[in-house]
C-alpha cells in the first residue's frame, strides 16, 4: 500500500501493485473483523500470469478455507496460487 500504485517485488519472479478503493468490507462469516477494500495485482515477470488478491480473499482462504466460486473475480484458484507461492 505504501508504494502508492508502483510495482513492488513480491518474491522470485513476481511483482505486485496495490489498487486502492475506498471503504472496508466485513467477513461474511461475521465476527472476524473488517478488511480494507482494494486489490493487489500480482503478476509473473516471465509470463502473462496475473492473480488478483483482495485482503478479504486472503482472510477467507486462511481462516475459512474458502477460495470463492469459479468465475468470481476474486477467486483464488488453488493451482495458480500454489505455483505463485512456490508450493507446486
pLDDT band, residue 66 (cuts 50/70/90): very high
Three-class SS state of 61? helix
pLDDT of 3 over the 80 cut: no
The residue whose grid cell reads 461474511 is 28
Q: Can you tell me the distance from the alpha carbon of 8 to that of 53, in angstroms, rounded to the nearest whole number?
A: 15
Q: Is the pLDDT of residue 85 over 90?
A: no
Task: Quote the pTM value.
Answer: 0.75
* Confidence category of residue 1, pLDDT binned at 50, 70, 90: low
- At 21-60, the pLDDT tens digits run 889 999 999 889 999 898 888 888 787 878 888 889 989 9
Residue with cell string 468490507: 25
Amino acid at each position: 500500500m505504501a508504494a502508492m500504485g508502483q510495482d513492488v517485488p513480491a518474491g522470485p519472479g513476481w511483482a505486485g501493485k496495490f489498487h486502492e478503493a475506498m471503504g472496508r468490507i466485513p467477513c461474511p462469516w461475521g465476527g472476524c473483523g473488517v478488511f480494507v477494500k482494494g486489490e493487489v495485482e500480482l503478476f509473473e515477470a516471465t509470463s502473462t500470469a496475473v492473480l488478483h488478491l483482495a485482503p478479504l480473499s486472503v482472510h477467507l482462504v486462511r481462516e475459512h478455507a474458502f477460495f470463492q466460486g469459479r468465475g468470481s473475480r476474486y477467486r483464488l484458484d488453488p493451482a495458480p496460487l500454489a505455483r505463485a507461492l512456490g508450493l507446486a
